[in-house]
Amino acid sequence: MGATGTEGAAGVAVGAALVVAAFAGKPLVAAAFFAEEVEAAALLALVFAGGVAFFVEAFDNFAAAIFFVAAAFVDFAAAVFFVAAAFV
């Protein structure tokens, strides 16, 4: 049941090939992981930029709402003034 020299050498060669393949694959796995992290960072940046844009748009809408409310008060004051002027 002992292995012959040829079988032993073949086993060593296969084992060595598996080790080489494992180490050769590590840079590919690392590169794929790095690419995935870069993609995730890019998506996060897009989400953050979208959040900033949404906040800017919301602030712009809030400022516009304040402007329209102020304009409504001015219009109301003008109406009161014209009504008062009509009685004077």
Question: Residue 10 has what pLDDT?
Answer: 72
Which pLDDT band, with edges at 50, 70 and 90, does 5 fall under?
low
* Residue-range domain boundaries for the chain: 7-86
String of DSSP letters for 47-66: HHHHHHHHHHHHHHHHHHHH
Q: Per-residue pLDDT tens for 27-39?
A: 777 777 788 888 8
**4, pLDDT greater than 70:** no
Question: Residue 1 has what pLDDT?
Answer: 46
Model pTM?
0.41
Question: Average pLDDT, whole number, for the chain?
Answer: 80
Neighbours of 24 (CB within 10 A): 10
